[in-house]
Structure 1
């Protein structure tokens, strides 16, 4: 496997093995200077499935991540939070 370099700083990426709850193994490439984490699309899918499994078994106060589909759009921009309770009375 060829080594990858960080697109930001050019340092050689460190490869780390992943193991998901689905029994699938993958790898993540990490910039040693903290500029990013890069992984294959299939490995990302495995991480999302593992995250969803964790939320299913973690209790009622967590929610699984939504399945990413090509037809998804960005959520609408939310208005900034009120600076004080009184401000909420006039909006």
Structure 2
């Protein structure tokens, strides 16, 4: 895929490679957040990968701990992604 420029700001797009069980594709992203662009064939693979991610991302919950006086707050961490596509742009 050739290098694209953002139609809104003219910046050179950053290309990310998509890898899933369905194969590989490319997504071009505006560095200023104006959008993402991809080939029509890659859109189908992206939708399938997203559906597969949700199918296998069940609720992983831990049992509630017993509350004691010596407990401290857990460290603040990065929230888990809500969708597979969020993992592409870390």
Shorter-chain TM range is: 0.5 to 0.7
| Number of equivalences | 59
Q: TM-score, normalised by structure 1?
A: 0.57
Q: CA RMSD in A?
A: 1.6
TM-score for the superposition, normalised by structure 2: 0.57
> Could you tell me which residue of structure 2 aligns to residue 33 of structure 1?
32
- 1:72 alignment counterpart: none
- Runs of 4+ in structure 1 off by over 4 angstroms are none
Counterpart position of 1:55? 54
Higher relative contact order, chain-length normalized (CA < 8 Å, sep 6+): 2
Alignment of structure 1 residues 66-77 onto 2, 5 Å: none
Consecutive unaligned residues of structure 1, counting only runs of 5 or more, are 61-91
